[in-house]
Structure 1
Amino acid sequence: MASPPRDRDPAGRARNARPRDAAGRPLPRGAASGLERVPDDLVLTADESVTEAQRLLDTDLPFSAHEVLEGAWKAAPEYDKPCWRALAQLAVGLTHAQRGNARGAVSLLERAADGLRRWAGDYPAGVDGVAVANAADALVARIADGGTLDAADLRVRLRP
């Protein structure tokens, strides 16, 4: 049995139009409802991106926060991309933690912390990159020690 064709945008890039659950996992094709998706063409300022990502983190939607931060990363000037990438990796790490994928969470949270610490410029939109990196490190340590995380643990503050 052949797989259904993948969703593609006009430029041929893969897009998954399937509805998703609160942790960002795709629901079966044809599912009646799911998490409201972040539009692929959403364009926000740096400040709006951080504000929206924080709102999503605060409402236990790190996958959606990742989509917002990934959009900011893709739209950022070349010199700012590494910082936005690290912020997007943080949200992916939080998504893996939410889903119970310890290995994926540790890997992405470590990359995020490293990227934020290596960043030599000003952090965008008032982000406290050092505090975010420290929060990612603390989550990695808890996961590595076999500690359990609850939703509140995954609500990392992007700004002071």
Structure 2
Amino acid sequence: MNARDRDGEGRARSARPRDGLGRPLPYGAAGVERQPEGVVRSPAATVAEAQRLLDAGMPFHAHEVFEDAWKSGPADAAPLWRAMAQLAVGLTHAARGNALGGARLLRRGAASLDGVTQEYGLDLPGLVRWAGELAHRVDGGAVVDAAREAPRLRGGGGLE
């Protein structure tokens, strides 16, 4: 890690550019703008921003949006946002070619949605179906395009 890659409080923060799936690129390469961390959004704004990023083929960035909601929102909503972050990072790993990790995280996220009481208009049954179907296809060797496989978060759940 480059000695300059520290935030104002001295914590390690890689300044390397990233691609649309969050993979580090060489210093000086053109990358995708990073998702700002620690943004507090309403649940509706969280879902809208995450959907925009998923549709753009940037599930890693959508995961960061869900992570912000998980860490800054009410404790009773944390299980929902944590599960949504797992689904997004599962899609990220699947699109990066990490079939084992992608399928595992998709299944973990789907299982974590069981019993969630906060929904915020999300189609949880549809998302569970989407995650299970995608995990099964990834296990079978499917090549994943993150934008094409992006789930519908509201109404319709999985692929439209």
| TM-score with structure 2 setting the length | 0.88
Q: CA 1:127–1:29 in 2, change beyond 3 Å: closer, same or farther?
A: same
Aligned to 1:26: 24
Deviation, structure 1 residue 44:
1.3
Where do 5+ consecutive residues of structure 2 fail to align? Answer: 156-160
How many equivalent residue pairs?
155
Q: 2:67, 2:81 within 8 Å by CA — same for their partners in 1?
A: yes
Q: Is the 8 A contact 1:58 1:155 kept in 2?
A: yes
CA 1:135–1:11 in 2, change beyond 3 Å: closer, same or farther?
Answer: same
Alpha-carbon displacement from aligned partner over 1:122-158 (angstroms, at most 9, x marks no partner): 31x2111111111000001111222333345421111
Q: Secondary structure at the match of 1:126?
A: coil
2:115 maps to 1:118? yes
Aligned-partner residue type, residue 144 of structure 1: D
In the other structure, the counterpart of 2:158 is none
Alpha-carbon contact 1:98-1:154 (below 8 Å) kept? no
2:128 corresponding residue in structure 1: 133
Q: Which has the higher helix share?
A: 1
- Deviations 1:101-120 (Å, cap 9, x if unpaired)? 1011011101100001232x
Aligned-residue CA RMSD in angstroms? 1.8
Residues 3-42 of structure 1: CA deviation (Å, up to 9, x unaligned): 53373334454422221011110111233x2101111232
| Partner SS for 1:118 | coil
Q: Alignment partner for residue 79 of structure 1, among 76, 79, 82?
A: 76
Equivalent residue runs for 1:85-124 within 5 Å: 85-119=82-116, 121-123=117-119
The separation in 2 between residues aligned to 1:77 and 1:12, in whole angstroms, is: 28
State the distance in 1 between where 2:4 and 2:114 align. 37
Counterpart of 1:105 in structure 2: which amino acid?
G
TM-score (norm 1): 0.88
The answer on whether the counterparts of 2:43 and 2:69 sit within 8 Å (CA) in structure 1 is yes
Question: Quick one: distance in 1 between partners of 2:55 and 2:38?
Answer: 23
* Distance (Å, rounded) in 2 between the aligned partners of 1:6 and 1:136: 39
Percent of residue pairs bearing the same amino acid type: 52
